[in-house]
Structure 1
């Protein structure tokens, strides 16, 4: 995908999620990642049981899909894991987050991400200090 298409898909994700409060099951990291993957032309295989509507449902979803959000991304984007330093606009990154869920963000530009951070009222564009993993979308 060329950079202009990556930018447009990322802008669509930003417009949909920026400023939205964290509500597990409707506006959370996982829903944002799935929506972004679809905007980027991917079709993540959600599998039986669909998605989630609560924290307990999210735990069940993660158990069915490898135990973590990173396992889901490895399955949905096989062979696309990259080092976080190689990320570009539209890529997905994992940040330290509350177990067992973790935290995921979408790369915007200049090292910034769209993500939910503790203490913030909604999804924000931030420049995190630590990244755990990254995937090329």
Structure 2
């Protein structure tokens, strides 16, 4: 069986994330940056078993869930996935990009690289594309 082109897989993952999250407001445990990253990873064939059955409905609940998984930050949790850290400017569509969080409880807001220096994530309370000026980290998917 022939392996599918990596760029096509990445584009389908981006399309699925855009279809699922575009315009959606923040909904802890349903439509948040962790759920966005998890969908992007799954659509690219990367399992995320640590999130199976994980439930939370608030920022406090999300922080407690993160701690229960053994991580003190989203940055540490992403590093624990085994994905390689890359320079944010080198992100391809489908890679995960961490931006400075607007929330005191979290060190990073996870977004999805969508191409041409743009990311897709929570912007002013809802999911939209943007062209950020500050980055914290990025991870290569695949």
TM (norm. structure 2) is: 0.86
- Whole-Å Cα distance in 2 between the matches of residues 59 and 32 of structure 1? 17
Alignment root-mean-square deviation, CA: 1.7
- Runs of 4+ off more than 6 Å: none
- Give the structure 2 partner of residue 18 of structure 1: 22
What 5-or-longer segments of structure 2 have no aligned partner? none
The answer to whether residue 121 in structure 2 is matched with residue 112 in structure 1 is no
How far is 1:67 from its partner? 1.1
- Give the structure 2 partner of residue 63 of structure 1: 67
What CA deviation, in whole Å up to 9, does each residue of 1:65-121 have, x standing for no partner? Answer: 311111111112x15111112111000011011222231100001011111123x5x
Moved more, 23-32 or 61-70: 61-70
What 5-or-longer segments of structure 1 have no aligned partner? none
| Structure 2 counterparts to residues 1-137 of structure 1, below 5 A | 2-46=6-50, 50-65=54-69, 66-76=71-81, 78-97=82-101, 98-101=103-106, 102-118=108-124, 120=125, 122-137=126-141
Equivalent residues, number: 134
- From the two aligned structures, give the one with the greater strand fraction: 2
TM (norm. structure 1) is: 0.89
